């Protein structure tokens, strides 16, 4: 009888650990999800707020990567050496792409025309986030969870000010 009662209590408990339909709907409304069924191999999407931008890349082999980049006053702030202290402002940052289609063999970089030669060599990452320079660290991947075909951004860079108190 005790085992039956324990089983009866355990099943609903473990079922409650997964995301609820309402939490997934709230995440969709906040713009912190990406439908992977709509993201074909060789494409990307940029999402985010005034303070952070997220690049979700589906590489040509189908692998998915999520990178977070600080953003403020219409500028991206990228790593000069370390992503923990992004200090280099950039107005046009992102993967080499035509629209949302990635360029085969392209890179993620600042596309500003007035960059120094050092920045052009050093501030370049491949689509997996590996730095192509010698002194700047690789792009860290942001945290996410895949729920069915939805990628849910779980990164700590998403500012709480973007979420109303009734949505939290």
pLDDT tens per residue across span 123-153: 999 999 999 999 999 999 999 999 999 999 9
Residue 63 · residue 44 · CB < 8 Å: no
The answer as to whether 59 is a domain residue is yes
The answer as to whether 6 is a domain residue is no
Q: What would the two tokens of residue 75 be?
A: 């500028």
Residue 88 · residue 110 · CB < 8 Å: yes
Q: Which residues are bridge partners to 52 per DSSP?
A: 70
> Is the pLDDT reported for residue 168 higher than 50?
no
- Angle, CA 124 vertex, CA 70 and CA 151 arms, to 5°: 50
- The rounded percent of the chain whose pLDDT value lies above 90 is 67
pLDDT tens per residue across span 89-124: 999 999 999 999 999 999 999 999 999 999 999 999
Give me the sign of the Cα torsion angle 24, 28, 33, 36. positive
The answer as to whether 8 is a domain residue is no
What single DSSP character describes residue 162? G
pLDDT tens per residue across span 33-46: 999 999 999 999 99
Task: Look up the domain containing 75 and give its range.
Answer: 21-162
Rounded Cα distance, 150 and 165, in Å = 24
Question: How many domains, the chain?
Answer: 1
- Whole-prediction pTM: 0.74
Q: In what order do the strands lie in the sheet with 144-147?
A: 33-35, 150-153, 144-147
The strand ranges marked E within 80-126 are 88-90, 93-95, 97-98, 101-102, 108-110, 124-125
> Is the pLDDT reported for residue 66 higher than 80?
yes
Q: Where residue 147 sits, what CATH number does that domain have?
A: 2.102.10
The answer as to whether 29 is a domain residue is yes
Rounded Cα distance, 45 and 51, in Å = 17
The answer as to whether 13 is a domain residue is no
The answer as to whether 77 is a domain residue is yes
What single DSSP character describes residue 36? G
Q: What is the mean pLDDT of residues 14-18?
A: 53
Q: Residue 26 phi/psi, 5° resolution? A: -60, -40
């Amino acid at each position: 009888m005790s085992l039956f009662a324990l089983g009866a209590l355990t099943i609903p408990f473990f079922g409650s650990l997964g995301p609820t339909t309402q939490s997934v709907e709230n995440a969709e409304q906040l713009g912190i999800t990406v439908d992977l069924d709509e993201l074909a191999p060789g494409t990307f999407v940029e999402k985010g707020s005034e303070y952070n931008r997220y690049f979700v890349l589906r590489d040509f082999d189908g692998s998915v990567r999520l990178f977070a980049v600080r953003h403020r006053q219409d500028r991206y702030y990228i790593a000069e050496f370390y992503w923990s202290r992004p200090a280099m402002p950039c107005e046009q940052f992102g993967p080499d792409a035509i629209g949302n289609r990635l360029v085969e063999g392209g890179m993620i970089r600042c596309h500003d025309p007035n960059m120094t030669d050092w920045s052009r060599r050093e501030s370049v990452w491949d689509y997996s986030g590996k730095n192509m320079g010698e002194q700047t660290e690789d792009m860290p991947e942001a945290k996410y969870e895949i729920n069915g075909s939805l990628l849910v951004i779980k990164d700590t860079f998403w500012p709480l000010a973007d979420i109303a108190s009734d949505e939290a």
